[in-house]
């Protein structure tokens, strides 16, 4: 069984969490690496969401950020998929955007690169993609300069991973966290070195609490296509997260065995028994 084959309309986030964690335990893991996040529909936009009674519905996405502990080490993995088995128009566009941003970041991982630079490149690519989809308006570089992208990507690109899910050493000694809206959540600010393990987890979210807040609507009055966004308040969120080991010449994706392309996710669900 895989993580999508048991997901079906009518089951709750909590039921899906239980199915997943049972498989972790059956495979020999002593415990989850952290509290599993399962959010469907609008719940997918809530960072660190605790699975509840909301039912999976055809037409909605499900975001699962969950992983097992193994030999004392934490994994940290996120996938997002459509309940119906098929991404619809805007789901497909936004998913492909996040997937592209994640792949570009993974491709850029190598010793010596500043993690903060990877984050800023991802922010720029998200701004560019959201302009193409007419959700943000303006010049992508200027949008990142004023942190408008962070309305939809309000967290860092990822973090160090090891014995803990958010492992030690995220900030180089002497560096202080930024107070910029688009940077203050960055948990890793250091040059990467061989054998570091990091997560790469860009996301795009429609967070009702942010998007309906008068402060943010005024601050980004011209940068956000508000009429469009107002129709997407229940969209939820998309995050794709992999665990990446820095190698001498680049990186190795430790979680590469878990399907994430649109084609692979739709194929799994086509082949899954729907009982």
Element (H, E) at 23: helix 13-26
Q: What angle do CA 108, 109, 111 make, to 5 degrees?
A: 125
Does residue 199 belong to the site contacting Mn ion (CB under 5 A)?
yes
Rounded to whole angstroms, what are the CA distances from 185 to 23, 87, 188?
32, 30, 9
Q: Residue 40 or residue 199: which is nearer to Mn ion going by CB?
A: 199
Does residue 189 belong to the site contacting Mn ion (CB under 5 A)?
no
Does residue 32 belong to the site contacting Mn ion (CB under 5 A)?
no
Q: Residue 76 or residue 266: which is nearer to Mn ion going by CB?
A: 76
**Window contacting Mn ion (CB under 5 A); options: 27-35, 183-191, 196-204, 221-229:** 196-204
CB of 65 to Mn ion, least distance (A): 7
Q: Which residues fall within 8 angstroms of residue 95, CB to CB, at 6 or more apart? A: 80, 87, 238, 262
CB of 33 to Mn ion, least distance (A): 10
* Residues forming a β-bridge with 29: none
- Please tell me the count of residues contacting Mn ion according to CB under 5 A: 2
CB of 159 to Mn ion, least distance (A): 6
Residue nearest to Mn ion (CB): 76
Q: Residue 46 or residue 133: which is nearer to Mn ion going by CB?
A: 46
Euclidean distance between CA atoms 270 and 172, whole angstroms: 46
CB of 164 to Mn ion, least distance (A): 11
Q: Where are the alpha helices (DSSP H) in the chain?
A: 13-26, 89-108, 115-132, 140-145, 208-211, 214-219, 226-230, 262-271
Contact of 243 with 68, CB cutoff 8 Å: no
Q: Residue 78 or residue 91: which is nearer to Mn ion going by CB?
A: 78
Q: Residue 147 or residue 167: which is nearer to Mn ion going by CB?
A: 167
Does residue 76 belong to the site contacting Mn ion (CB under 5 A)?
yes
CB of 35 to Mn ion, least distance (A): 12
Q: How does 55-76 read in b/e, with b if 16+ C-beta sit within 10 Å? A: ebeeebbbbbbbbbbeeebbbb
Footprint on this chain of Mn ion (rule: CB under 5 A)? 76, 199
């Amino acid at each position: 069984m895989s993580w999508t084959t048991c997901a079906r309309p009518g089951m709750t986030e909590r039921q899906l969490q239980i199915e997943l964690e049972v498989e972790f335990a059956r495979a020999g893991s002593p415990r989850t690496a952290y509290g599993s996040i399962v959010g469907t529909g609008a719940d997918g936009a809530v960072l660190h969401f605790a699975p509840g009674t909301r039912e999976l519905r055809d037409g909605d996405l499900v975001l699962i950020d969950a992983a097992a502990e193994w030999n004392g080490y934490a994994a940290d993995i996120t996938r997002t998929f459509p309940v119906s088995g098929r991404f619809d128009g805007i789901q497909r566009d936004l998913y492909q955007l996040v997937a592209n941003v994640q792949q570009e970041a993974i491709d850029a991982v190598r010793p010596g690169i500043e993690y903060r630079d990877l984050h800023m490149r991802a922010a720029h690519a998200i701004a560019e993609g959201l302009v193409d989809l007419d959700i943000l308006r303006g010049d992508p570089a200027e949008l990142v300069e004023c942190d408008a992208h962070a309305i939809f990507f309000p967290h860092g690109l990822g973090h160090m991973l090891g014995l803990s899910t958010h492992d030690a050493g995220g900030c180089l000694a002497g560096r202080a966290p930024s107070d910029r809206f688009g940077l203050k959540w960055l948990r890793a600010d250091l040059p990467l070195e061989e054998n570091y393990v990091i997560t790469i987890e860009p996301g795009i979210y429609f967070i009702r609490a942010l998007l309906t807040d008068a402060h943010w609507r005024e601050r980004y009055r011209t940068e956000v296509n508000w009429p469009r966004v107002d129709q997407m308040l229940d969209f939820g969120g998309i995050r794709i997260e992999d665990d990446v080991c820095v190698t001498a010449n680049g990186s190795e994706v430790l979680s590469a065995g878990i399907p994430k392309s649109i084609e692979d996710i739709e194929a799994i669900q086509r082949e899954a028994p729907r009982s």
